[in-house]
Structure formats: structure tokens, C-alpha cells
Structure 1
Amino acid sequence: MRAFVLGAWLVATALCQLPKDHPPLPPPGHRAKAERLTALAGGTAAAPVPPAPRRNLIDEHIFGRMERDGIPHAPLASDEEYFRRVHLDLIGRVGDAAALDEFVASADPAKHDKLVDALVGSPAYRARWTYWFGDLAMAAANRIGNEGKNLFYRWIYDNIQIDRPYNEMVTDMLTATAASNWYVGPASYLARWVVIGVKCEDTVHEDTSDELAINAVKHFMGVDLNCVSCHDGERHLEKINTWLARRKREELYRMGAFFGRTRILRRVEVATTQDEYSIDDKGPGYDMGARTVVRVPRRGKGAAEPVFLFTGERPDPSRNLRAEFARMLTSHPQFARATVNLHWAALMGVGIVDPPLDFDLARPQATHPELLDALAEYFRANGHSLQKLHKLIAKSSAYRLSSRFAGEWKESYARYFARRFVRRLTAEQVHDSIVHATGLYTDIPVRGTDFRARYATETRSPEDFKGRYPGLKDINFFLESFGQTNREYAERTNEGDITQAVLLMNSPWVLNQVKARPGGHLSALIAEAHPPEKAVEILFARFLNRRPSPQESAMAREWIAAGGRRGYEDLQWLLLNKTDFLFHY
């Protein structure tokens, strides 16, 4: 019976691949992939669609523009769709079956807002967004040591818990000093980007300064300066990024000069090969002619004086250079714009500017420039609160739109956010949803601690899955195959392939997860002896956060009746192989 799923899964993986004879769909890149997948997988809604209620500033901009331009939009998602969506987005896994039943049955008109309020700030929310930020900062133990990685995680987690202003968090990361990054949480952000020379203990000062400036600007302003770290932008970047095409390599030197006085020394624990770094402000400055081990040789002469690329401002000579850099960065309008756009992309599937870390400041990339500015102003006015930003987005009608669309869908509608963008679950969302739905958890030892994680988002980094503990090898291979980043050089990917199909059907870990083992939800369900129809509803709610269709229910009851305990296991296996388990819609 399990082979029956193969055809369905091949369809699902095909959705992630554009057929060779398919015409290109503008615009290019990440947005085009999201548009393509949504058009193929989104489905059709019943017409007509009433106007969506405008619940906050987001809706005023999104639906106001659609109304102005005569663009139809999808209906609001069903309660089941919204319940699943908001759980995946805010806590990184599907929701509980009992909570789903209560939510759907409730007649409270404020139940959607109340659900968001309950999730934002919860322990699962804190773990999900701490892990997300670890990915952004590429916090790998191989670069900052297990102790540094664990403390960095804890520092982010604690700051998210109290909803600390994001500009203050960023300032702490950019200005941290430490005798050891193993004892000062935010210090690991800078330590992560140290460039090592030929000798283990040798750090390449100017290359490191460049990396610190490049990554800070990329992560917190959404602009990628990498291309101008080796050459001027002129005659290289005109077709890629108009603003960068006007930049000089020397301007990057002057950004790096903000870190010229930053001295980062490396200490290697030979027995454990764990990196440890001290950070202070006793560096020699920035030499524009210094050697490089990662870039085209520098051709400048003399010391670079720091100048903030985005404003031309020079630092107050009486103040710490990194403190001045942090002040200039977090007070610049692009800081708030980049931050809200990055989190919009995380929740909506596609950024207002997309890709979110590749702004071109010289041309209008934003689909909704006024909305981007309004969100940035809201973010500033509300104390740079990430929790308030997440609530604003998740409570909007724009966020609640269905991926199903009534009538003819046109590619031009995608720019209006006229329907929900469909995307594949991340590796961690797949893993965490499986273990949550089955109730069968593998204790994942977090390196350098006594803590055992149950969910991927509770681990401190992907390296925690690489230990020599029972079951971890299969889980690690599963996560890597589904595109998990290693935070060192492999970027995250949500592309589909046949390996993923095979793993969902035949992975030793998956086959073990669907069994009715002691302690799991299925063994308890069987012991409770529910009527088959009720048991099927419970399993659908656990895995897919929805009720089965009449046809699905009838087929599932037949499998249970014919197979008994094995029939229940087969049904669990079938549910996690269904297309709608794997996709975020």
C-alpha cells in the first residue's frame, strides 16, 4: 500500500522544478520560484470572493493598491489553513490536534488574534526565532567553539524572550569586547567572521575588518557589499545592482576601517579543536595596502579613515569606532527597512524587496515601497520590537489570504500579494512536525551541555546532529537532504528532489517514527479505542492540521479495518507523504 504514494510524491517534487519547456516567469530569482510553485500548487477557490477586511496598516496598503489597480485577490484562508500556517511560521511546526478542534469550533471573532498572541513569546516561538537568527548569523561551532555557539544561542533566546529592542541587540553584537567569546554571548557574532591565515593562530586583520563590515551591512541593512570588496563596481555591476555599480573598492576599505582598531585574537584548544577568541580595541588600524588571503590584492596606500558608506558621515574621534558604526547603522532608515523586509519574507514567503538581503538602493525594487516605509516607521515607533512586528503581520488580512484563487490567475497579480505564496517546509519544519505529530522524540545531545533537545529548533546548531548517538546519523542525513544549512559554507535550500521522496518513504528514521511505539501518540490512540472515523480525524489533525475529506476518511477507515495496528502505522506513513504535509500554503 505504501508504494501507492510514490506517484503523488513525484508530483510534489515536480512542483519544485520548472519543466524544461516552460517559458521563463519574470521576475527572476526567489520570487519567481515562489510565484511558479504557488500557481501550480495553490488550487482554485470558489467564486465570488468578498473584499477582505482591512485590519491594520498592512491591509490598507496591500488591498488599497489592489483596489486602485483593479486586481482581484484570493479569499481568506480557512480556519484550518490559518491555524497550520501561523504555527509553522511562528513556532516552526504544526499545531496540536486538540487545539485545532477548539480553534475551529470557536465562534469568537477575535480568535485569530488571540492565537497569534498565544504563540508569540511562547517557549516554542523563542526557540524557533533564536534558531532562525543563528542561521542568519551563521553561528557554527566550527567557527566559534561549542561554548561560544551555546552562549550565543542563549543570549539571543533571552533577548527574544524579553522582546529587547532589536537595535540594542545589534549594537551589542557590533560593540562586544571579551577576554573570551565563550563567556560573552554577543561577542560570537564578530568572532564568527575572523579570517585565519596560514598559521592556526594567525588572524588576517584587514580581511577580518572587511568581513565584519560586509556581514554587518548584509545582515542588518540588506545590502551585499561583497562584490566591491575586490574591485570597483563600475563596468561590473551595472546589470546586477545599480547602486553598487557606483561604489569604489576604497569605500569598502573605509567601512572596514570602523573595525580597524578591533583586535581579535584566536586561541585553539588543541585537544578539542575548539576556537576561542578575545576581542578588544587595541588593533593597529586599517592599512589599505595590507596583504589579503581571500581577495584580490589591495592596491591602496596608507591608513584608511573610516567613513560610513551610506551617509558619508565620519566618526566622532573621541568615541569608540565600533560604537559609532553601530550608531550610524541602527539609526539609518535602511536598518529598519531591511529588518522589516527580512521578517516579512520569513512570514509571507517573499520579501517586499526580494531577495531580502540584496537591496539595490538606486532603483525601485520594492513591490510596495510605501508599505515598506510604513512598516519601517511602525518598527521604529514601537521600540524596534520584533514581537510587535510579527503580530502586526500575522494579524493582517493580507497574511490570512488563501493560496487558492478564484478565477484566472495572472502572473502580474503576484506582485500585489494577491494570494498566499506556497513554499516547501524547511528541513527543521519537516523534522519538528513529524516528531510533534507522532509524539516520538529522539534525545538530541547539545554539544557542550547536558541539555537534550527534542526539536531541531531547540538545538544550538546543525552540528548537534552529528554526534555519535543512536539515531542521529539517520536524522542528520534526512535534514541535510532537505536543505539544512551547515552555517559554514552550504546555504539553505528549499528545492525538491527525488532523494527527499525516497527518504520520506524509506528512511529508517521515518519508518521508525510511524510505528505504534510505547510513549508515542499512536500507541495511546489505539489504546483509547476510538471509533475508526474519530481516529482518522485525530490523525489528520495531528499531521495536516485539517479534517479529512469524505473520500479520504473512507479510504483511511478501510486501511485501518484491514490492517489493524499496521493499518494505523500505514496511515501515519501515508499522511506524512501527502503533498500538503510537505508544503506551507
Structure 2
Amino acid sequence: MPQRDGRVDAPAIRAPWRSIVAAAGLVAVLVVAARGRAGDEPAEKSLGANKAAPAANALDPLLRQAWKDAGLKPATVAGDAEFLRRAYLDILGRIPTVAEAREFLNAKAADKRARLVDLLLEHVDYPKNFATEWTNLLIGRGRQERNVDRAALTAWLRKQFSADRPWNEVVYDLVTASGSNKENGAVNYTLAHLETEAVPLTSRTTRLFLGQQLQCVQCHDHPQNDWKQADFWGINAFFRGLKTEEKRMAGADGLEKVDHVELTDVPTEAFARFDRRNGMMGVAFPKFIDGRKVDKPGKAVRRVELAKLITDPEGDMLPRAMVNRTWAHFMGKGFVNPVDDIGPHNTPVLPEVFDKLTEEFREGGCDVKQLIRWITSSAAYQASSVRPGKAKAEDDQFSVMMLRPMSPEQLFDSLLTATAAHRTGGGRNDDKREGWMRQFLFTFGNDEGDEATSFQGTIPQSLMMMNGELMRDALSGKPGSFLSDAVEQAGRQHRSPAGFMVDQLYMAALSRHPSNAESTPAVAYLESSPDAMSFLQDLFWALLNSNEFILIH
């Protein structure tokens, strides 16, 4: 049977275990017990922990003082394998390859964690991962209207993250983008939310870039803070005067089709109309949420004026929103939750740390890579996911790393990384990735275009993981697959080929060496098995369906 923390006892990995898991469903995959129970090998040994303290970080004195004041005992420093896998998933969106994992675990440098983060930030998968995440935030995962070129937006974002452009400059370009949505991918953000007089665009812009849920005051004043209905419509008025035009061309079949869409700004005297709760009609001209207005709005390019206000170097709403969202990306939750509801009505956790990180990010020129370095070198990010003693889960103030399920994109890319299934299943292509996402996505028909996934711990996920096409390709054992390569490499080993193959599977799936309790029976079973490939397929299948694989910890 599977052990308590997602590890697997090799003698139990045969067809009967498959039927047990299939009957129970993979919901149990998301139930993770604490590591280090009686009978388990200590996590530090099996994960090859680096006992050295993480590099000094300006946030750490604030973190440790807050934990002390709250009477919290922080978790121990995460082991090397735990940190490695966590950093790869958070920065690159996938687990490390076996070669990458071995190189890091074998390194002896005291600062190898900081070096790893620097290496990952220069990796080609870093801009790819963050472009994917921000594409989802900007326009969602669902299928867009024909006027939206999702690929062009993603490509544009990849260029921005690859060039390490300051976040305020990226936001400025997103808010003001005009021209062809094919040539300027940033245009697609605005195009995606222009329906119903740009109400969705107003809501998403304030939530993503200012951390303010102004959609709450679209129809009435806010009951818990000072936001008024006119504040929402004052931002909405910045998006008046937008003109879209479809540009057509003849296709291969001779029929005309839309080639791209042009977005332009037309100076206008238009104002936003809205219905008050008292039955009266309200009007709003362009006005920022801090009360600043646009001089001569009829002659101004309104989106440019809005972008100047959002990215004002003297303001802190933009850096504060980005810091909170990035912290949530790496830690599982933000200083303020929901991450886009910052304000006096929503008290942050660790306010001193939040303020310090925001100040450093703003003063440092909104450098996203540097923000990532600060977060990943902090005692909070370096902490293990194992709770010390009998500590409870409530209000841990980031003294323990939060367990998080992978996103659909992370799981898909990690499965390919671990198994090389794309080499046996027709190649790694976007169509398969999109098909994977669609099976776990549903959208609400609201005016904000929000969406949710039915991905985490559900029956569809269980079936996809246990019996889906991707898993079948992964376990096929065909030439070019990871299993095939592992068997071939083991044949060249002069010492224990069985030990090498078991170790390869654990390194591929879990980015760590198996413990003695895991490797000894697995090696013995493999050496006595008349069908080595069948056993390896079952073992690999169980590891890939374990909670230790599917969770970021």
C-alpha cells in the first residue's frame, strides 16, 4: 500500500494496487500526512538536506521577530531536494530533470541555492512560465473571441520577462497598447475585455495592477471602506474613445477572413453613465481612485493618462499589488487575501515584511527577478513543509511552507519532464497542452470573465492521471521514453543495474533518491522479477500518481 507521505513501498506496486487506487479515486492524492512519523526515515536523510542556514536576507529579521512575537516555532530549513523541486516548479513551471536534480544535489557550494535561483532566472523556461501565468491572469485560460490573439499576447509577455523589463514599464505598455493585435501582442489584453462598455477591463485592470477590487462598487458604495460607486466609473471613463477595426485578407480557399484587429484611441468628451441606488443617473469623467483627474480629457489619450497614474513612481499601489501577488505565487497565499483586495478593510499578515518588500521593490525599479531573489532566499521560502512538533495549521504566518497542488500547466509540463512522453506520443505541442487544460476548465458567465478549474483532486483529474493518453505514452516503454532510456543505461552499469533503475525513477518523479526502506525491497523485487519492464511501469505509475509528485511542498 502507499505509505503515509506519498512515498511508495515497492512490493505493493503491482496490478492489485492499481485497482485499489482506481476504486478510491485520486482524491486521496491530495491528502498528505506529516513526514517523519514512526517507521519513516527522517526527511532530512532521504532528501539530502543542507544543514547550512540560507543566505542572509533583509526580510529574515522581520520574519523571525514576528514569529517570536506570535509564539511560533518555525519549521526547519527545507532539505536540498525539497527546495530544488519547489524552486523549479515556482520559477520554471516544471520539476527538474534527473540530470538537473543530480547536479544540484551533488553540489557542495554553501551558496548553491542562491546560485540555483540565478540559474533558473536565466533559463529559457522562466519567461515561458511567467508569460503563461500572466496570460491566464490577463485573459484567462478559456477560449477567447476571434478578436483576441492569445499566442501573440503570450509571445509578447515572454519577451518582457526575458528582457527583465521593469514591471511598471510592462504594465504601462499593457494599459496603453494600440495598433495591430498580431504585431503588438499587448493589444490583446484590452481587446479581451471591451464588452459591456469595458466593465470587465475596468475591473481586471484595478485588480491586477492596483490590487483593488473596485468591481465591488460598480453598483453601490462599498460597505467596509471608502470606495464609492463613482470611483469605479471614474476608472471606466478612461476606457472611452476606443475604436476597433477588423482587417481582413483572402485565405487559401479564396474566402476573406479576419487577419488581425486594429485598436486605436480617439479623443472624446464621453463620460461614463451609471445607475445610482436611489434611481438617479450618475455620470463620471476620468478620475483615478485617489481623486486625481485628467486635465482636458477631450484632448487627452485617456489610457495614456491612466497608465501614468497607475505607474506613478511616487505611488505604491502598483508595487504593492505585484509584491502581494508574487509572494502568493511562491508561498501559496499572499500577505493579503484575496490577493487583489488590498485596503484598510483587509489587514495583511506580517505587515512589516509586506511594507519592507514593497519599498525595496519600488526603490529597486520594480525589478521582478530581484523580487524573486528576495522571496526565494527568505527564511519563509526556505522553510520545510513539515510542521514542527504539534504545531497547528492556523495562522502560521509563513513559518511553515504551505502545501500546494500543481496547476494544470505545471502538471502537464512536469509529466513530460519526468517521462519524456512527448518523444513517444507524437511530440510536444500546444494542441495537446490546450486539450489537457480544457478538460479541467469551466468558466462562469459573469461580467468579469472570471474562471475556475475543476482540476485539484477531482475524478476527472484522477482518470487523466491514471489512464489518460499522456500517462499511457509515459509508461509505454517505447524507444525514446524515459523508461526505455533507464533500462538501456542500466545495462551499461557494472554495479547494481536494478538499484540504478529504481534510483532513476525516484529522481525523475520526486527529484530525490529513494530511502533505504524504499529502495531495498524495490531492488530485490526487480532483481527477481521475470518482467522488469512491467515492474518498472507499475512503480513509475505509482510514483507519478502519488501526492509527493502532484504537490508543491
Does structure 2 conserve the Cα–Cα contact (< 8 Å) formed by 1:147 and 1:182?
Answer: no
TM superposition shift of 1:533: 0.6
Letter of the 2:411 partner, please give it: V
Provide the residue aligned with 1:573 in structure 2. 541
Q: Does 1:316 align with 2:295?
A: yes
Letter of the 1:165 partner, please give it: P
After superposition, the Cα gap between the structure-2 partners of 1:431 and 1:342, relative to the gap in structure 1 and judged at 3 Å, is same
Q: CA RMSD in A?
A: 3.3
Q: Where in structure 2 are the equivalents of 1:347-358 lying within 5 Å? A: 347-358=330-341
Does structure 1 conserve the Cα–Cα contact (< 8 Å) formed by 2:142 and 2:441?
Answer: no
TM superposition shift of 1:11: 8.4
Provide the residue aligned with 2:419 in structure 1. 438
Q: Secondary structure at the match of 1:516?
A: coil
After superposition, the Cα gap between the structure-2 partners of 1:5 and 1:479, relative to the gap in structure 1 and judged at 3 Å, is farther
Q: Does 1:502 align with 2:468?
A: no
Does structure 2 conserve the Cα–Cα contact (< 8 Å) formed by 1:43 and 1:403?
Answer: no
What is the rounded CA distance, in whole Å, between the counterparts of 1:403 and 1:60 in structure 2? Answer: 21
Q: Does 1:13 align with 2:13?
A: no
Q: Does 1:328 align with 2:289?
A: no
Does structure 1 conserve the Cα–Cα contact (< 8 Å) formed by 2:288 and 2:306?
Answer: yes
Provide the residue aligned with 2:159 in structure 1. 158
Provide the residue aligned with 1:248 in structure 2. 228
Q: Does 1:233 align with 2:247?
A: no
Letter of the 2:513 partner, please give it: R
TM superposition shift of 1:525: 1.7
Letter of the 1:498 partner, please give it: I
What is the rounded CA distance, in whole Å, between the counterparts of 1:12 and 1:581 in structure 2? Answer: 12
Does structure 2 conserve the Cα–Cα contact (< 8 Å) formed by 1:88 and 1:94?
Answer: yes
What is the rounded CA distance, in whole Å, between the counterparts of 1:438 and 1:169 in structure 2? Answer: 36
Provide the residue aligned with 1:491 in structure 2. 452
What is the rounded CA distance, in whole Å, between the counterparts of 1:493 and 1:421 in structure 2? Answer: 21
Q: Secondary structure at the match of 1:580?
A: helix
Q: Give the structure-1-normalised TM-score.
A: 0.79
After superposition, the Cα gap between the structure-2 partners of 1:42 and 1:125, relative to the gap in structure 1 and judged at 3 Å, is farther
Q: Secondary structure at the match of 2:422?
A: coil
Provide the residue aligned with 1:277 in structure 2. 261
Q: Deviations over 1:62-108 (max 9, x none)?
A: 11211233310110111111111111111011112122222222221
Q: Deviations over 1:161-212 (max 9, x none)?
A: 110011011111111221x3222221111111121xxxxxxxx5xx22x332
Pick aligned residue for 2:242 from 257, 262, 284: 262
Letter of the 1:547 partner, please give it: H
Q: Does 1:545 align with 2:511?
A: yes
Letter of the 1:255 partner, please give it: I
After superposition, the Cα gap between the structure-2 partners of 1:440 and 1:391, relative to the gap in structure 1 and judged at 3 Å, is same
What is the rounded CA distance, in whole Å, between the counterparts of 1:521 and 1:444 in structure 2? Answer: 12
What is the rounded CA distance, in whole Å, between the counterparts of 2:338 and 2:322 in structure 1? Answer: 13
Provide the residue aligned with 2:210 in structure 1. 221
Q: Kindly, what percent of the aligned residue pairs are identical?
A: 26
Does structure 1 conserve the Cα–Cα contact (< 8 Å) formed by 2:320 and 2:358?
Answer: yes
TM superposition shift of 1:406: 2.3
Q: Secondary structure at the match of 2:401?
A: coil
What is the rounded CA distance, in whole Å, between the counterparts of 2:504 and 2:88 in structure 1? Answer: 18
Stretches of structure 2 that go unaligned for 5 or more consecutive residues are: 1-13
Does structure 2 conserve the Cα–Cα contact (< 8 Å) formed by 1:94 and 1:433?
Answer: yes
Does structure 2 conserve the Cα–Cα contact (< 8 Å) formed by 1:427 and 1:484?
Answer: no
Letter of the 1:374 partner, please give it: K
Q: Does 1:377 align with 2:351?
A: no
What is the rounded CA distance, in whole Å, between the counterparts of 1:443 and 1:568 in structure 2? Answer: 17
Provide the residue aligned with 1:419 in structure 2. 400
Q: Secondary structure at the match of 2:514?
A: coil
Does structure 1 conserve the Cα–Cα contact (< 8 Å) formed by 2:422 and 2:473?
Answer: no
Does structure 2 conserve the Cα–Cα contact (< 8 Å) formed by 1:352 and 1:367?
Answer: yes
Q: Does 1:366 align with 2:353?
A: no
After superposition, the Cα gap between the structure-2 partners of 1:2 and 1:432, relative to the gap in structure 1 and judged at 3 Å, is farther
TM superposition shift of 1:213: 2.1
Provide the residue aligned with 2:149 in structure 1. 148
What is the rounded CA distance, in whole Å, between the counterparts of 2:424 and 2:21 in structure 1? Answer: 32
Provide the residue aligned with 1:469 in structure 2. none
Q: Secondary structure at the match of 1:441?
A: helix
What is the rounded CA distance, in whole Å, between the counterparts of 2:141 and 2:279 in structure 1? Answer: 29
After superposition, the Cα gap between the structure-2 partners of 1:251 and 1:102, relative to the gap in structure 1 and judged at 3 Å, is closer
Stretches of structure 1 that go unaligned for 5 or more consecutive residues are: 17-36, 196-203, 446-451, 460-464, 466-471
Pick aligned residue for 1:535 from 489, 501, 516: 501
Letter of the 2:170 partner, please give it: M
What is the rounded CA distance, in whole Å, between the counterparts of 1:567 and 1:297 in structure 2? Answer: 72
What is the rounded CA distance, in whole Å, between the counterparts of 1:298 and 1:374 in structure 2? Answer: 45
Q: Does 1:194 align with 2:194?
A: yes
Q: Deviations over 1:522-579 (max 9, x none)?
A: 2122122141011111111011101112222133324533122222222221221122
After superposition, the Cα gap between the structure-2 partners of 1:297 and 1:512, relative to the gap in structure 1 and judged at 3 Å, is farther
Q: Give the structure-2-normalised TM-score.
A: 0.84
Q: Secondary structure at the match of 1:174?
A: helix
Provide the residue aligned with 2:125 in structure 1. 124
Pick aligned residue for 1:518 from 457, 479, 482: 479
Q: Secondary structure at the match of 2:479?
A: coil
Q: Where in structure 2 are the equivalents of 1:41-60 lying within 5 Å? A: 55-60=56-61
Q: Secondary structure at the match of 2:451?
A: coil
Q: In terms of mean alpha carbon deviation, does 542-551 or 479-488 score higher?
A: 479-488
Provide the residue aligned with 1:428 in structure 2. 409
Does structure 2 conserve the Cα–Cα contact (< 8 Å) formed by 1:174 and 1:326?
Answer: yes
Q: Secondary structure at the match of 1:430?
A: helix
Provide the residue aligned with 1:98 in structure 2. 99
What is the rounded CA distance, in whole Å, between the counterparts of 2:256 and 2:487 in structure 1? Answer: 47
After superposition, the Cα gap between the structure-2 partners of 1:167 and 1:52, relative to the gap in structure 1 and judged at 3 Å, is same
Number of equivalent positions: 512
Q: Deviations over 1:416-440 (max 9, x none)?
A: 1111100111111111111111122
After superposition, the Cα gap between the structure-2 partners of 1:175 and 1:376, relative to the gap in structure 1 and judged at 3 Å, is same
What is the rounded CA distance, in whole Å, between the counterparts of 1:513 and 1:46 in structure 2? Answer: 28
TM superposition shift of 1:482: 4.8
TM superposition shift of 1:349: 0.9
What is the rounded CA distance, in whole Å, between the counterparts of 1:395 and 1:91 in structure 2? Answer: 17
Q: Secondary structure at the match of 1:130?
A: helix
Letter of the 1:128 partner, please give it: N
What is the rounded CA distance, in whole Å, between the counterparts of 2:349 and 2:231 in structure 1? Answer: 29
TM superposition shift of 1:145: 4.3
What is the rounded CA distance, in whole Å, between the counterparts of 2:441 and 2:63 in structure 1? Answer: 32
Does structure 1 conserve the Cα–Cα contact (< 8 Å) formed by 2:26 and 2:458?
Answer: no
